[in-house]
């Protein structure tokens, strides 16, 4: 019985560590990519667009962190940051005029 509870505790720690990594590392990467797309897409002058995108990045990062920890599973938590990061990265790589 002690072995089962120890295994459950390790699984819980591993789950929390994975979510924390998704929120911190994945959230940072996804926020950077989404912010770069926003800076290009906003219909303002270049400096104003960049400033506004950077200000919005704090809310975007917070949203990613909340999404990762609100997800039902660790896998879904990773998808919260990986899917938007992949879309934003693809938009930047293709160079779609925004």
Distance CA 66, CA 8 (A): 24
Q: Which domain holds residue 64?
A: 2-94
Distance CA 11, CA 58 (A): 31
Of the candidates 10, 13, 29, 15, the one whose C-alpha atom is nearest the C-alpha of residue 77 is 15
Question: pLDDT tens digit string along 67-94?
Answer: 999 999 999 999 999 999 999 999 999 9
Angle formed at CA 24 by CA 23 and CA 27, multiple of 5 degrees: 60
Domains in the chain: how many in total? Answer: 1
Average confidence (pLDDT) per 10 residues, the chain, 98 residues: 80 93 96 95 92 97 97 95 96 81
Residue whose entry in the numeric block shows the structure tokens 């506004």: 52
């Amino acid at each position: 019985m002690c072995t089962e509870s120890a295994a459950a505790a390790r699984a819980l720690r591993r789950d929390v560590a994975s979510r924390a990594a998704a929120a911190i590392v994945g959230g940072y990467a996804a926020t950077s990519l989404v912010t770069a797309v926003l800076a290009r897409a906003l219909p303002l002058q270049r400096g104003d667009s960049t400033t506004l995108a950077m200000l919005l990045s704090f809310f975007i990062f917070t949203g990613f962190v909340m999404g990762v920890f609100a997800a039902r599973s660790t896998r879904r938590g990773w998808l919260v940051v990986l899917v938007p990061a992949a879309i934003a990265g693809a938009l930047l790589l293709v160079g779609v005029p925004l």
